[in-house]
Chain A
């Protein structure tokens, strides 16, 4: 239900007398429409997290790398410890 997946914005258009920004978002091979009303800063080529037709967050690339950096860090720390 709370499933939300990241996709890339490939185009943006306005609707309802320019009050609403809608985007075409690409998920792998599939393109779907999503409202950008909750992510005013989103622009073409950004990855956004889309839930039931609405983009709810812009995915942050720097933060995304942290998961892997973190694992590398705890891995290295470990090697410093003699019993490992």
Chain B
């Protein structure tokens, strides 16, 4: 087994669609929390294959999309300091700040680098002792351990010209925020497989109980997603609400204790602002106070006015699954991936960009829009 192609097999996809058609008797609304899953559902054309009665809505699980505007502004500010090399994952570069994106700052001469791993940023700091290297560390529980590890690597090697600008967000509080919105209509969740790889399953049982809602921890390939959706629909049809793990080849019930140990050495839980949604209590990670040396927010004096969001962008409602991207008046008009008004149009995991990129033919657009 190579663990990829098997899960993309069209024959298995069709079998699952067939099974889903057989068991679905009424309309169900299911949210996939993770942007990676949104991307895969849209890219693989699964949304238009699902039974009409199975409505997928797209969740807030795109870290790029929920990074607040003022943090983007901070990253841009740092990048423009003469002594700083600002690094991040590729997706972050195009997110519009209130004045400009990191990419625009780069075009104007700021030293901005795209890296594959935060560990490379530590290496960069080692090679450039006369510079300050700042890693713009965004991500959910999946990415937080790697970002934490970069701080430990710097510490281990006595590297002091490395710091991170942390914007870490946590999934369970966001799911609660979605459920507590009075306009929410979500009846089942696909939980984010790679987040659970780190955190395990225990955080989700209380959500299942509190809201009597099925949650199925799900992978990212077409067959994974369809099995996850099938398991949610099966529970809904039978009037059940359980926690299930579709992605057991990767997700152990206890998660990854080593990763959590590394995370706990570096981060502590804090309240976090989510772009378009607002502040959610206990929904993020900040660096522990004793690691202030590695915290860009404390290392550099950053004085910036807090900017206002564009009033035309309804990203908050899109991220909570209340509206679909095409219901935004600017979708595909003023707002396109080349001229994004909001972050969900920037990242390929943002619902707006996913719809824009993959709904290329008219039929596909229509089949997505009629859902």
* Residues 25-54 of A at the B interface (beta carbon under 8 Å): 32, 35, 37-40, 47, 49, 51-54
Closest residue of chain A to B234, judged by CB? A74
* Contacting residues, chain A, for B91 (C-beta < 8 A): 1
Contact residues in A for B262 (Cβ distance below 8 Å): 37-38
**Chain A contacts of B146 at CB under 8 A?**
35, 51-54
In the complex, which of the residues A52, A64, A68 contacts B143, with contact meaning CB atoms closer than 8 Å? A52
Interface residues as binary, A52-84 with B (CB distance below 8 Å gives 1, 0 otherwise): 111011011101111110110011001000001
- Count chain A residues whose beta carbon lies closer than 8 angstroms to a beta carbon of B: 38
Partner of A68 from the list B12, B119, B153, B251 (CB cut-off 8 Å) is: B12
Contact B15–A71 (Cβ < 8 Å) = yes
Question: Is A10's CB within 8 Å of the partner chain B?
Answer: no
Tell whether B163 is near chain A: CB-to-CB under 8 Å.
Answer: no
**Nearest CB in chain A: distance from B292 CB, A:** 23
Chain A contacts for B233, CB-based, 8 A? none
Q: Which residues of B contact A84 (CB under 8 A)?
A: 22
Q: Please give, as numbers and ranges, the residues of chain A lying within 8 Å of B258 by CB-CB distance.
A: 37-40
- Quick one: which of B1-39 are within 8 Å of A by CB? 1-4, 6-7, 12, 15-16, 19, 22, 34-36
B227 touches A56 (CB 8 A): no
Taking the closest CB of chain B, its distance from the CB of A70, in whole angstroms, is 7
When the two chains form their complex, are residues A56 and B223 in contact, meaning their CB atoms are under 8 A apart?
Answer: no
Excluding A38-B145, A66-B248, 5 further A-B contacts by CB distance (< 8 Å) are A1-B62, A2-B194, A32-B116, A39-B256, A71-B15
Interface residues of B (CB under 8 A from A): 1-4, 6-7, 12, 15-16, 19, 22, 34-36, 61-64, 89, 91, 116-120, 138-140, 142-143, 145-146, 149, 153, 156-157, 192, 194-195, 197-198, 220, 223-224, 227, 246, 248-252, 256, 258-259, 262, 347, 349
